[in-house]
Amino acid sequence: VLVFTDLDGTLLDHHSYSFAPAIPMLHKLASMNIPVIPNTSKTFAEVTELRQKLDLKGPFIVENGAAVYIPINYFNTQSSDTTSKNGYWVKEFSKPREHWLSLIDKLKNTFAGEFNHFFNMSNKEIIAATGLSIKQAKQANAREYGEPILWLGSDNTKHKFVETLEELGITPLQGGRFLHLSGQCDKGKALIWLTQQFQQERGIKNCISIALGDGQNDVAMLEAADIAVQILSPANAPPLLTRQHDVYTSQAYGPSGWTECLEQIIFKHKQFNP
Ligand code: 2M8
Ligand code: MG
Ligand code: MG
C-alpha cells in the first residue's frame, strides 16, 4: 500500500498550514510500514524542509508532477530514466522554469494587468497572497519547473487565458490559490511512474495506491489511484471526478479530513494491517 498525498489544503490546513490533526495517523501509517508520499505543487526546497517535520523518509513528487525525487539507495536499483542530484534520483516530467517564464512573457501584452506570477512578485507579495513566512515564501519561489500565476482579473479573462494556453498545447493546473503552468505533467502521471518503481523493486504487480487531494490539480492523481479521497476545502468545491468506485469524501477540512478518511479505509481493508 502506498499513500500519495497533496499537501496544501489536504495534509496541511488551507490557512494555517498545520498538520497537527494528522500526526496520530502519520504515526499509525509509519508503524504499518506504509509510505506516505507527498504529491504537491510545492517545490523541492519546501518539501525537503516539510518532510523532516513530518518525519517522512521516502520519495516525493514536486511542482504538480513535474519531478519525482527518490532518496539515493531507497530502492536497490536506480531506474535508467532518472538522474542523480543532491542525494536523490530524479525523474523529470517538465521543461525547466525558464521555458514557462518566456512563454508567460509572450502573453503579457494580451493580458496586461490581468495577472501576476511568482518570478515577478516580491517576497512581500507572495506572503500577502499565501500567508507563508518569509523563509517559506523564498522556498516557494525556488521553483525548478513551473510557474504559479496569481489571477487578478475577472473569471472571464482567466477563462480566455486558459483557452489561449490550451491552444498552445499547455494544460494549466488550478491549485488552491494559483494557476500553475508547467509541462505535460500532472500528479497522476507521476503517481503511476512511482507506483511502477515500487512494484518493480518489490517484484509485485499490484501495489495498492491511495491518493488524497482537495483541488482541481489533484484530479489526475485521484483518477489514477486505486482508492481516491477528496478532502473538503474551504477554498473550492470538491474536484469533479469521473470515477464512481472507491471514492471517499471527507466531512472535515484538511488534515482532520485526511485522518477521518484514512481511518475508514484502514478499517474497511483490514488486510492492510501487518
Ligand atoms: C502554491 O500551491 C498551492 C497548491 O494548492 C496553490 O496553488 O494555491 C505553490 O506556490 C506552493 O509552492 C506554495 O507553497 C503554496 C502556498 O499556498 O501555493
Ligand atoms: Mg491542495
Ligand atoms: Mg497542491
Predicted confidence (pLDDT) per residue in 47-81, tens digit:
999 999 999 999 999 999 999 999 999 999 999 99
CA 71 – ligand 3 centroid, Å: 21
Q: How far is the CA of 96 from the centre of ligand 1 (A)?
A: 18
Enter the DSSP assignment of 162.
H
- Predicted ipTM of the assembly: 0.97
Question: Ligand 1, atom 12: nearest CA belongs to which residue?
Answer: 42
Decide: helix, strand or coil at residue 84. strand
Cα distance between residue 2 and residue 197, in whole Å: 12
CA atoms within 13 A on the CB side of 135: 3
32 Rama sector, left if φ>0, alpha if ψ -120 to 50, beta otherwise: alpha
pLDDT tens profile 148-200: 999 999 999 999 999 999 999 898 999 999 999 988 899 999 999 999 999 99
Atom of ligand 1 nearest to the CA of 132: 16
CATH number belonging to the domain at 97-181, selected among 1.10.730.10, 3.30.470.20, 2.40.37.10, 3.30.980.20: 3.30.980.20
Residues whose beta carbons lie less than 5 angstroms from ion ligand 3: 6, 8, 40-41
Using a CB cutoff of 5 Å, list residues around ligand 2, an ion.
6, 8-9, 176, 214-215
What gap in Å lies between CA 117 and CA 181, rounded to an integer? Answer: 10
Ligand 3 centroid – CA 203 distance (Å): 31
Q: What is the CATH number of domain 2-93+185-272?
A: 3.40.50.1000
Compute CA 1 distance to the chain's CA centroid, rounded to the nearest angstrom. 19
Nearest atom, ligand 1, residue 17 CA: 17
Ligand 1 pocket at CB < 6 A: 8-9, 41-43, 46, 130, 132, 140, 148, 175-178, 215
| CA 99 / ligand 1 centre spacing (Å) | 20
> Helix, strand, or coil here: 156?
helix
Q: For residue 178, which atom of ligand 1 is closest to its CA?
A: 7
Tell me, yes or no, if 226 is annotated catalytic: no
**Interval 126-153: pLDDT, tens:** 999 999 999 999 999 999 999 999 999 9
For cell 489571477, what's the residue?
151
Write down how long the chain is: 274
How far, CA to CA in Å, does 146 sit from each of 17, 24, 69?
22, 33, 16
Place of cell 504537491: 40
Ligand 2 center from residue 8 Cα (angstroms): 4
Q: CA–CA separation, 105 vs 253, rounded Å? A: 37
Per-residue pLDDT band at 271 (split at 50, 70, 90): confident
Q: Is the pLDDT score of 273 beyond 80?
A: no
Tell me the CB-side half-sphere exposure of residue 251, using CA atoms within 13 A. 3
- CA–CA gap between residue 142 and residue 241 (Å, rounded): 31
- Which atom of ligand 1 lies closest to the CA of 148? 10
Residue 102: which residues within 8 A CB-CB, separation 6 or more? none
pLDDT of res. 216? 94
- Closest alpha carbon to 2 in 262, 264, 268: 262
pLDDT at res. 274: 64
CA atoms of 174 and 233, how far apart (whole Å): 14
The residue extents of the domains of the chain are 2-93+185-272, 97-181
Residue from 11, 17, 130 whose mutation best tests the ligand 1 pocket (most atoms within 8 A of CB) = 130
